Structure 1
Amino acid sequence: MASRDFHLQMQGYGLTTANIFYGLPDHPRIIQSYIWQEYDLHPHFPELRKFLDFWTRSLDGPLHGVTVAHAQLITPAEMRLVDGEFHVH
């Protein structure tokens, strides 16, 4: 059985990494960094938006900025059918 990650990649999801910069509630001039990584859909990033909505609703550290990197891990050119099975031992 294929993994959840593989199924998501076959549906067009790619690995998304967000570097989230936020201010500390007690020290607003200090900016911290949090790395978030999940499979998400480019260009609208619904999973990242859901996480950032949760952040602004539930956490005290105000968001300062977000940098996003996205990689489509499986592309159609990398998938090919095999015409046979190979057995070793």
Structure 2
Amino acid sequence: MSFYVNILTNPARTVLYTGITNNLERRLHEHSTGLGESGKFTGRYQCNLLVYFEISPDAKQAIAREKQIKNWGRAKKDFLINTMNPAWEPIDLQTWSG
């Protein structure tokens, strides 16, 4: 089973959220349809646009990578996103070729 480390942002691209999941499509659906509670970070800041993701072969590696990214400053996270998605376009998993 693969795990995904992902970075979501809001429409204004001012807030970043880093998370992990074993089902990226399901998790994005939950964020985009408001299934997350409005009091939680992603609901409060409307973080539902996928701008970066990477695949990890197991949960331990994904958790370690998520923690690593969460400890970075904004400039380093921006650089990481720019390596995969320089235009910061929302990634559609059905059409993504990157």
TM-score (norm. length: structure 2):
0.36
Q: Which has the higher helix share?
A: 2
Bigger-Rg structure (1/2): 1
Q: Which has the higher strand share?
A: 1
